[in-house]
Chain A
Amino acid sequence: LAKTTQPISMDSYEGQEVNITCSHNNIATNDYITWYQQFPSQGPRFIIQGYKTKVTNEVASLFIPADRKSSTLSLPRVSLSDTAVYYCLVGDRLRGAGSYQLTFGKGTKLSVIP
């Protein structure tokens, strides 16, 4: 049973804000929500992580409603270089460690158009 569901693809024009929503209806109490970005021929790269409410860093914001059954990654003013696949992951923190379970789904292919 898939832990997360995302749109397969999205298109956006340069300079626009992009919101990618992820559904995780069966999220467990101990699960965190993490987003990764992957360019062709490269390994995934961490974007942001959250547990509830809103988290913001220098590249993105993550919005998580109170029921935590979905989350939205927001990319402000995208550029052509933001064209990539974006993955939403939910997973628990490893016991006695600072790291997490990382189970990838199919991701969302974002294409930024000039």
Chain B
Amino acid sequence: EAGVAQSPRYKIIEKRQSVAFWCNPISGHATLYWYQQILGQGPKLLIQFQNNGVVDDSQLPKDRFSAERLKGVDSTLKIQPAKLEDSAVYLCASSSTAEAFFGQGTRLTVV
């Protein structure tokens, strides 16, 4: 069974630029999560989808972050404009049961 795919693996941008991350969840998984993990901290939930509907986006900085899940499958997370404090690993996960499967993440560095 293929795992959760994320791209790119690494990204370096200058502050005020925009960036997008892509996630392809495990086939058949209705729930998709995006997390931000800053070095030394636990993952922080940004947004959670159930199919193509948003279940929880209470911690998503909506003035600069946006996410969509087209047709309830792939998802894209965008940051525009980026700030230095957005430097982190962005993790995507999907699940259909108690067990959520995580991708390798995208490491974003904002300079």
Contact = CB atoms under 8 A, between A and B. Distances in A.
A46 B99 contact: yes
Interface of A: 32, 34, 41-46, 49, 85, 87, 94, 96-107
B111 interface: no
A44 B95 contact: no
B81 to A, nearest CB: 27
26 contacts: A41-B104, A42-B102, A42-B105, A43-B4, A43-B91, A43-B93, A45-B102, A46-B101, A49-B99, A85-B42, A94-B31, A97-B50, A97-B96, A98-B95, A99-B31, A99-B50, A99-B95, A99-B96, A99-B98, A99-B100, A100-B95, A101-B48, A101-B56, A103-B45, A104-B42, A106-B42
A68 B93 CA distance: 27
Contacts, number: 68
B24 to A, nearest CB: 14
A32 B98 contact: yes
Interface of B: 4, 29-31, 33, 35, 41-45, 48, 50, 55-56, 91, 93, 95-105
B45 A44 contact: no
